[in-house]
Amino acid sequence: MSIDVTGVTKRFGDFVALDDVTVTLPTGQLTALLGPSGGGKSTLLRVIAGLESADSGTISIEGREATHLPPQKRNVGFVFQHYAVFKHMTVAKNVAFGLEIRKRPKPDVQRRVEELLELVHLSQFSHRLPSQLSGGQRQRMALARALAVEPTVLLLDEPFGALDAKVRKELRDWLRRLHDEVHVTTVFVTHDQEEALEVADEIVVINEGRVEQVGTPDQLYDEPANDFVMGFLGEVT
Ligand code: ADP
Ligand code: MG
């Protein structure tokens, strides 16, 4: 099983943001969408999520045709760079939110929230407000919240972009460990070569609305598909 993007084109007016993109993202894998700013990474993620509709092409998620499904029917969880947290709600309430609006039984919600907070090492902060957490802890809360509804796919758009270098690195390792624990199919967008190379099982290099290469970090290094990939990876500091 996998996420299959087939022949997807997305235009904004005359501008072609995605140009006939075909790519397969295997189930259970941690995949990075990597490329320079403006290349179309976020647009691809949003098309997979159903937040943008493609002009042509199809999306299937874990074997299920999803091209015309609304976001809430795609069973995806999101984390964005600036995550919209509920400032007046405790950490536990924030994590519970998606379950409560789905009217899950209270004891189930409570048990699930405890599990998730343990998973992201925030159990002792469950009664705090988001403003009483560090930036890194807030993004961990965002991850727990996205995982609460047991999505089949977790989509992250530059999830650590707003954080300082040290915290970014911590969260990077942390995302890797979390993924190894829950094995949910995860796609994360980054423009940071080092981040993609260190964390991802597989990297999709995207530039000017096209897929330049798909490969493991080793494959990209050993056999860059073209000058663009070679140049872009060469910018790793
Ligand atoms: P990336 O995430 O790789 O930086 P994006 O997918 O956000 O790139 O954007 C790709 C291109 O599409 C950019 O040139 C951007 O300006 C354009 N774009 C993205 N969203 C819109 C929109 N809603 N309307 C018009 N242009 C857009
Ligand atoms: Mg983006």
Q: What are the tens digits of pLDDT across the range 177-231?
A: 888 888 899 999 999 999 999 999 999 999 999 999 999 999 999 999 999 999 9
Instruction: Say what the pTM is.
Output: 0.92
- CA-nearest residue for atom 16, ligand 1, is 38
Contact residues for 209 (Cβ-Cβ < 8 A; gap 6+)? 10, 16, 17, 18, 19, 21, 39, 40, 43
At residue 87, what are phi and psi to the nearest 5 degrees? -70, -30
pLDDT at 237 over 60: no
Q: Give Cα 161 distance to the centre of its chain.
A: 12
Strand duo 185-190 + 30-34: pairing = parallel
Of 148, 146, 164, 141, the residue nearest 156 (C-alpha): 146
Which of 5-19, 56-70, 149-163, 183-197 is the least confident region?
149-163
ipTM of the complex as predicted? 0.98
Provide CATH 3.40.50.300 ranges for the chain: 1-75+151-237
pLDDT tens digits for range 39-87: 999 999 999 999 999 999 999 998 899 999 998 899 998 887 666 688 9
What ligand has the least distance to the C-alpha of 157?
2
The CATH T-level fold of domain 1-75+151-237 is Rossmann fold (3.40.50)
Distance 12 CA to ligand 1 centre (A): 8
Beta-bridge partners for 15: 12
Q: Give Cα 210 distance to the centre of its chain.
A: 19
Which atom of ligand 1 is nearest to 41's Cα? 3
Of 147, 185, 151, the residue nearest 71 (C-alpha): 151
**pLDDT score recorded for residue 83:** 62
Which of 5, 12, 33, 212 is the best mutation target for the ligand 1 pocket, counting ligand atoms within 8 Å of the beta carbon and taking the most? 12
Tell me the CA end-to-end span of the chain in Å, nearest whole number.
36
pLDDT at 163 over 90: no
Beta-bridge partners for 85: none
**Strand ordering across the sheet containing 2-12:** 15-26, 2-12, 56-61, 64-65
| Residue 71 DSSP SS3 | helix
